[in-house]
Amino acid sequence: MSLGFCQKRHNLDLAACRRLGIEVVRRPSGGRAVLHLGDLTYAFIAGTADGIPSGVTAAYRLICDGLLQGFHLLGIDAAMGRGVMKPPQHEICFLRGTLGSIMHRERKFVGSAQTWHASSMLQHGSIILVPQIEALVSLWPGSADSPAELRAMLEGRIISLHEILGRLPEMEEVKAAIREGMARVLGIRFDPGELTPGEWTLAKDMANQEDEKNPCPTRTLPKSPSAGSGSALLA
């Protein structure tokens, strides 16, 4: 579970998180809670020197255009959100509409957040592959008047790739489509790579430094560099 940089967590059931083995981390970006369960988490890091337009709105539009191209390659009719979903301040990301949302027939299946440092930016987000409604209901019991109300809200406002396509796509299929869509829009080529041990150490050191400055610390660092913990750290 990743929380926005200064999101309060008073309605999050931490005991339930521990019972289910779900780590709670805090992102460097804003926004609301994302449950990284049955999702694909993406991250895009670049800057104005790389051709990214300055400003949150323009950068969102460019990167989301790349994501949309990828979804169209999968045969998905999708569009950027207009920021009109209500309640606007809900604690769960996928119950909020923002410019970085990507929708299918007015239901959200991608939530994104962005942060800038000088002329460089990070945009990352969650793409729902399979429904996670029951898990969210159990982890956020105080975020609605009743579990039934929260369940109804989630069922009416979010959707998964499984539901859209009528099948569960392979993870590599989705990754390949996103890479191709981003490459087409940005005019670039992606080369595969891995973080080095030194980069993992630097990332953990920087995370600890951020915790010292963060007025709302919550982070639980991954214990070892693995695919799962990397998603938690960066998401």
Give yes or no for a contact between 162 and 131, defined as CB atoms under 8 angstroms apart: yes
**What SS3 class is residue 216?**
coil
Mean pLDDT of 69-91: 80
Nearest to 39 by CA among 112, 104, 128: 128
Given the residues 6, 17, 64, 93, select the one marked as catalytic. Answer: 93
Is 17 marked active-site? Answer: no
Mean pLDDT of 161-169: 96
Tell whether the model's pLDDT for residue 219 goes beyond 50.
no
Give yes or no for a contact between 26 and 235, defined as CB atoms under 8 angstroms apart: no
Proportion of the chain above pLDDT 90, given as a percent:
43
Q: In the chain, where does DSSP find H-type helix?
A: 14-19, 56-73, 133-139, 147-157, 161-165, 171-186, 197-213, 227-234
* CATH class of the domain comprising 2-192: alpha beta
Domain boundaries, the chain: 2-192
Using 50, 70 and 90 to split pLDDT, how confident is the model at 220? very low
Using 50, 70 and 90 to split pLDDT, how confident is the model at 227? very low
Tell whether the model's pLDDT for residue 17 goes beyond 60.
yes
Residue 131 backbone phi and psi in degrees, to 5: -60, 145
Give yes or no for a contact between 185 and 72, defined as CB atoms under 8 angstroms apart: no
Proportion of the chain above pLDDT 70, given as a percent:
86
Q: How far apart are CA 150 and CA 152, in angstroms?
A: 5
| pLDDT tens-digit series, residues 128-152 | 999 888 888 888 887 777 888 888 9
Q: How far apart are CA 202 and CA 194, in angstroms?
A: 14
Cβ count within 10 A of residue 45: 12
